[in-house]
Structure 1
Amino acid sequence: AQEMAPTAILGFGNPLLDISATVEQAVLDEWGVTLNNAIMAEDKHKSLYAKLAETHPVQYIAGGATLNAVRVAQWMLGAAGAESAGKTAFIGSIGKGDAFGEQMKAQVAKDGVSGIFLELPDVPTGTCAVLVNGGERSLVANLAAAEKYAAEHFTTAEAAAACEASGIFYAAGFPLTHDGGKATVHKICEHVQQAGASKHLCMNVSAPFIAQFFKEPLLAAFEYADFVFCNESEAAALSEALGWGLAVGASKEIAVKIAALPSKRPVPRTAVVTQGAEETVVAVHGTAPVSFSVKGNPHTLGKEAIVDTNGAGDAFVGGFLSQLAQGKPIAECVTAGHYAAGVIIQRAGCTFPAETPTW
């Protein structure tokens, strides 16, 4: 429908190899982590990765919030007739020639995503420990190479070509924690702004700590973001950081406020707040918020079907973007997001079946 805008999706973020294991509560206590949270590794966590692999059966899965979303979007674009919407690409930095980096590249290629990696010698590829307990997950990220991304790479021929070809840009909040990431998100903002209404930047709050400690770069990026995603705890953290006085449970009100944050864009911002198994709230600036039930979809699950929730939020975004890229209405974007998340939580990590999605 949209002749003007090319419709490929380009993601920029921290590529991390997920090291996933099902653990006992004692392991969470030992490392001082809580479920349904994401933190940066401190010194005390440095030995967690090797120890986890020694003491538990672990799975190694390409991860990182942005990359997860892009991989899912590419999978969803494999659905009948959607191939014409274009390809997906991902930009980020990994270690040069290390085993985890090679595994990352192989996984991304296998999933059909164009990986445009800055490969850094002498820095290991970033990793993320995914501790699963009772289907819920806790993330401990060791960014390593991921936070050494140099913004100059974004202007190299391959990256610039991907930029030109893309109509939708997606970044998690996580790259805003490092200078190269901040500078690159700024470049994306400039690129999208020059394109006007034909291109869209989509951002994610990604974790409560981003709202708490990185609200300045987050709000600066939001001025150029036509779509902002978060879950209910991130929404509450943003509300607290901005003094809105709205707690968890006030997702509708928070979504309206996110949509109304200052914008330099020619189109109204859309805020999307997911709430796990509860309804997803969408607020477009200037219109009343709308709720979409997760239930009533044929793939609604009982607790026993849930393997782990790791990647569920990312999968929602991937499903959503796959339809946005095809110019579909918001309701269809949300339904696709719910479908993708429903598939991913029945599997370990952010992985999907070989067969084409049917929804």
Structure 2
Amino acid sequence: MASEGILLGMGNPLLDISSVVDDDFLKKYDIKLNNAILAEDKHLPMYEEMASKGNVEYIAGGATQNSIRVAQWMLQIPGATSYMGSIGKDKFGEEMKKNSTDAGVNVHYYEDEAAPTGTCAVCVVGGERSLIANLSAANCYKSEHLKRPENWKLVEKAKYFYIAGFFLTVSPESIMLVAEHAAANNKTENVEEIALKISQSHKASGAHKRITVITQGADPVVVAEDGKVRLFPVILLPKEKLVDTNGAGDAFVGGFLSQLVQEKPIEVCVKAGCYAANVIIQRSGCSYPEKPDFN
């Protein structure tokens, strides 16, 4: 059983503004599908335009926050997860707070006085999506916020920390790295070789072993540990059931973490990650039903 505050996430919170759009909208803002970019000046009006649409959805997003929300959903344990990041003092910030709090995450946001809340336009067409992120206040986090007694208590209470792609734990189990685009750094395109090389890379402390997990969409998940590589099949989904791929990778991380913090075996962690990702891609945005059906 996971304890209160066992998992703490820190990252760039972005309010996902998700909406089904048409080709004219894509052309208007020069957007390509299956792409993820930072917003330029030409994109800035699109956030309010999307917010004015009748089919818009607001979801407390940003990669780390998505994963923490999914982990909280999988755990179903009040107060098991916490999250810190920076938002602005505006309507999107209030929407972010409401959304994440309703998800059961113990959020402690730093509220920037000058910059607006970071947003991410999620433009969906036929199940495919494009992400345009306007980081804004998400880039304004101050270390002074972390040092406040009420926030530092979250750090002291947590045993696992998730920060932008790295899993850190003070348990004897592992320190884990999720790697998705490591081919260039390892001078090979063989995913299994990449996973093995990353798992064997030097660690400063040397106190814990490194486990590498690489997801490959519909292809098997690759896990490298103790000099060995294992492959785990994902849950295949018929194309007609695919709604939106946004947040699938974040959901995998959240599902994985929900079992890791309970010290479950790696194969169970991967199974939970695949389950969570499968649920999310059948829904709009990084959202989920009231309760998970994982066992």
Tell me the secondary structure at the aligned position of residue 332 of structure 1: helix
| C-alpha contact 2:7 2:162 (8 A) present in aligned 1 | yes
TM superposition shift of 1:53: 3.7
For the residues of structure 2 that align with 1:164 and 1:288, how far apart are their CA atoms? 34
For the residues of structure 1 that align with 2:159 and 2:141, how far apart are their CA atoms? 23
TM superposition shift of 1:55: 6.2
Q: Match for residue 239 of structure 1? A: 183
The Cα offsets for residues 108-132 of structure 1, whole Å up to 9 and x where unpaired, read as 1111110011111132111001112
Q: Match for residue 208 of structure 2? A: 267
Q: Match for residue 283 of structure 1? A: 224
For the residues of structure 1 that align with 2:35 and 2:150, how far apart are their CA atoms? 35
The Cα offsets for residues 247-268 of structure 1, whole Å up to 9 and x where unpaired, read as 4xx2212212222333124111
Q: Match for residue 193 of structure 2? A: 253
TM superposition shift of 1:43: 2.1
For the residues of structure 2 that align with 1:27 and 1:228, how far apart are their CA atoms? 37
Mark the CA change 1:7 to 1:118 in structure 2 (over 3 Å): closer, same or farther: closer
Structure 2: gaps spanning 5 or more residues: none
Worse-superposed segment, 325-334 or 57-66: 57-66
TM superposition shift of 1:168: 0.8
Mark the CA change 1:230 to 1:30 in structure 2 (over 3 Å): closer, same or farther: farther
2:111 equivalent to 1:113: no
Q: Percent identity?
A: 48
Matched to 2:18, the amino acid is S
Matches within 5 A, 1:1-359: 8-54=6-52, 57-78=55-76, 83=77, 87-96=80-89, 98-172=90-164, 197-198=171-172, 226-231=175-180, 235=181, 238-240=182-184, 242=185, 244-247=186-189, 250-265=190-205, 266-284=207-225, 286-295=226-235, 300-359=236-295
For the residues of structure 1 that align with 2:136 and 2:5, how far apart are their CA atoms? 32
| C-alpha contact 1:6 1:167 (8 A) present in aligned 2 | no
TM superposition shift of 1:46: 1.7
Matched to 2:109, the amino acid is F
For the residues of structure 2 that align with 1:289 and 1:43, how far apart are their CA atoms? 45
For the residues of structure 2 that align with 1:94 and 1:273, how far apart are their CA atoms? 31
For the residues of structure 1 that align with 2:123 and 2:271, how far apart are their CA atoms? 28
* Alignment root-mean-square deviation, CA: 2.5
For the residues of structure 1 that align with 2:32 and 2:197, how far apart are their CA atoms? 28
TM superposition shift of 1:333: 0.1
For the residues of structure 1 that align with 2:279 and 2:240, how far apart are their CA atoms? 14
| C-alpha contact 1:167 1:199 (8 A) present in aligned 2 | no
State the number of aligned residues. 294
Tell me the secondary structure at the aligned position of residue 187 of structure 2: coil
TM superposition shift of 1:23: 2.6
TM superposition shift of 1:230: 3.5
More helix per residue: 1 or 2? 1
The Cα offsets for residues 101-160 of structure 1, whole Å up to 9 and x where unpaired, read as 111111111111100111111321110011122322221110111100112211111221
Tell me the secondary structure at the aligned position of residue 228 of structure 2: coil
